[in-house]
Amino acid sequence: MIPLAKPYLTEEEAQAAYDTILSGWITQGPRVQEFEEKFAVYTGAPYAVAVSNCTTALHLSMIVAGVGPGDEVICPSLSYIATANAIRYVGATPVFADVLKGSSNLDPVETEKKITSKTRAILVVHQLGMPADINAFHELCGKYQLQLIEDAACAAGSQYMGNKIGFHSELVCFSFHPRKVISTGDGGMITTNRKDYYERLKLLRQHGMSVNDRVRHESDKLIFEEYLEVGYNYRMTDIQASVGIRQLEKLDWIVKERRKIAAQYNTAFNHVPGIILPQEEDGSYCNYQSYSVYLSKDCVIDRNTLMQALLDAGIASRRGVMTIHREKAYQQYNQEELPVSEDINERSIILPLFIPMAQEEVQQVVNVFLRLLFPVPVATGQ
């Protein structure tokens, strides 16, 4: 079986975790601080705060952005459900806007139509690692005095207008889940360019504690902590951070390798009738966290039949990104149809892409995919 994805973890990550375990400091401590500092340098952001996962990163970002009960936050429905869940965690209402067909990212024009007097923020998602049009959303937020938060769960290593994702906005949230480009088993990071946000994020992730354990441990003077507000246990462990440090060192190489595989798929499937390939807009550099193909209405095989046939041939695949507004948990927010989002969800298929992926595996995916679409051989790559 060729899997859909798998993390790229080596003996270096295992050794880093081993060394951290034997150090005696395994919860949030010096390795977490090191990971934060190096991630901030990598993205070009002034500050980075490590947390337990991207969902908690989004939750804390909502809090520091001042989003609360009675507020509305515009976001895509075409996203993992955590995007909208984080809005509901703070008592606010998610308002779903449609996406662009080419990038599967939030449409600035459709987003502006959804802005009301209750709108407090826009939560933009870099879907499958493809950068959204950040500048367009900064313009919208400036025009209407809104907060911009980036859900960059899939976008570590992606770039927009020559800078890494994480550089552009006040609050950018990353995931290190095993299906992401780099992984710490689970884990998340928030980058910010505001010191006040940075300080409060650190406070909130550890129960609202005024002084964290590492600072008290390293001090040669007696320190008693205070609890300044209701906080959360959203900490990353030093074991996870030690793995993250090693992963971060390889991130640019991993992205380059993923892009090579995506380029092979693009060459093989280019000009093949019935499918539309992922499209990088000008100024975008995608990490290809996933490779998604859209099957147009004139495709000779329907998506689910194709997925089953791939599975029968030993190749895993996945349906297109979910649409949150059609899930049972969000029935009360189903204000209207989102035709582009629904169409992408129903007609897209995600193909295997991971590092290292052997050339034989890439070619097998290409050959089987094309054979299922076209039993009679067709010319490709022209």
To which residue do tokens 């934060």 refer?
A: 36
Helix, strand or coil, per DSSP, at residue 161 = coil
Please name the residue ranges forming H helices in the chain.
11-23, 30-43, 54-64, 82-89, 108-113, 134-144, 195-205, 213-218, 238-269, 303-312, 339-347, 359-373
Q: How far apart are CA 273 and CA 376, in angstroms?
A: 13
The torsion of the CA quartet 42, 45, 46, 47, rounded to 10 degrees, works out to: -80
Q: How far apart are CA 362 and CA 354, in angstroms?
A: 10
What number of CA atoms fall less than 13 Å from residue 224's CA on the CB side?
A: 0
Q: How far apart are CA 87 and CA 324, in angstroms?
A: 13
Q: Is 180 a catalytic residue?
A: yes
The single residue of 180, 195, 221, 297 carrying the catalytic annotation is: 180
Closest-CA residue to 116 (of 144, 137, 91, 149) = 144
Residues 6+ apart with CB under 8 A from 9: 183, 243, 247
Residues with catalytic roles: 180
